[in-house]
Amino acid sequence: MQHTGDLVALLVVVVFGLTACRPVTTFSGSTASSADQPKPFLSIPLAKDAPTLRISEGWIYSEDERLIHPVILTHFAVDLRAEWGTPIYAPADGLAVASYHIYDMVDAYDRVIGYGLGLFVQIWHEEAKLYSSYSHLSRISETIPYIPPTLEGDSWQPRRAIYVPINVFKGQAKPLKMGDLIGYIGYTGLRLGYKEVPANPPSVDSDRDKTWDPNGAHLHWEVFSRTPDGSKKKDRYDPFGIYGEREEYVGIFTKATGLILANPDGSPQFAR
């Protein structure tokens, strides 16, 4: 799911249409050519034998999702579906912080739902000069600094954690190596009929507390740059370089594409 405070970028897509999102989409709605695509630097952030692993949402939302929030058409991310509690690993070296994000919205069925990143980790990759983020986690590794969000109206915003200049971000982050544990898959930030308390871990019981998201537990994976003050996302990249709906991601676990590093046989590298 797409769940950032950068809602303006989402609404731009309604004006420019779905085709504007096939290339790299920037915050302003302009697009970069394929020549501007960064060089591969990421592995897939799970173990190769992760159970039930599949793509549940691509760069463009599926019809299932558009029925729930029809005004938001583009995801700006890829969702990796796996079982609740599946470990997530750092796909590349970097500096990481954790926080929490959510706000309330009314969906197409007049339900008040939680729509946010939930419990997440953001990593700065120095060599690529890009961030990546990992959202809806059920729990985060205790080695990653958790910076509490601030309550602003009906939303919890990770203002001190990620809406900051890069020097501030680096000063409060901790280093990770490829393959280090980030956290565990969940669906925090996507609540239906219950309240989450921002914490690590939040007060969410997968047997009791349900999500409105038809994809259930999953990892929301983003790659992007930020404006100099850190307040907004700027250039945004599909890790797999597909920029399509989920049906277009066939074969990505057998052949490296986009920003994913390749093994000698051309298969994608996994973090573990």
Lowest mean pLDDT among 23-37, 132-146, 219-233, 238-252: 23-37
Average pLDDT score, the chain: 86
Of the candidates 156, 182, 160, which has an alpha carbon nearest to the alpha carbon of residue 171?
Answer: 160
Report the DSSP beta bridge partners of residue 114.
Answer: 104
Q: How confident is the model at residue 79 (pLDDT cuts 50, 70, 90)?
A: very high
pLDDT tens digit sequence for 204-242 = 777 677 888 888 899 999 999 999 999 999 999 999 999
Q: Is the pTM of this model over 0.75?
A: yes
Burial of 137 (0-12, 13-18, 19+ CB in 10 A): buried
pLDDT at 178: 98
Instruction: Please name which of 162, 182, 179 lies closest in space to residue 170, comparing C-alpha atoms.
Output: 162
Whether CATH 2.60.40.1120 fits 7-249: no
Q: Look at 18 and 55; give whichever has higher pLDDT.
A: 55
pLDDT at residue 81, rounded to an integer? 95
Per DSSP, helices labelled H in 133-236 are 159-162, 166-172
Confidence class for position 66, pLDDT limits 50, 70, 90: confident
Tens digit of pLDDT for each residue in 234-265? 999 999 999 999 999 999 999 999 999 999 99
Locate the domains of the chain by residue range. 7-249
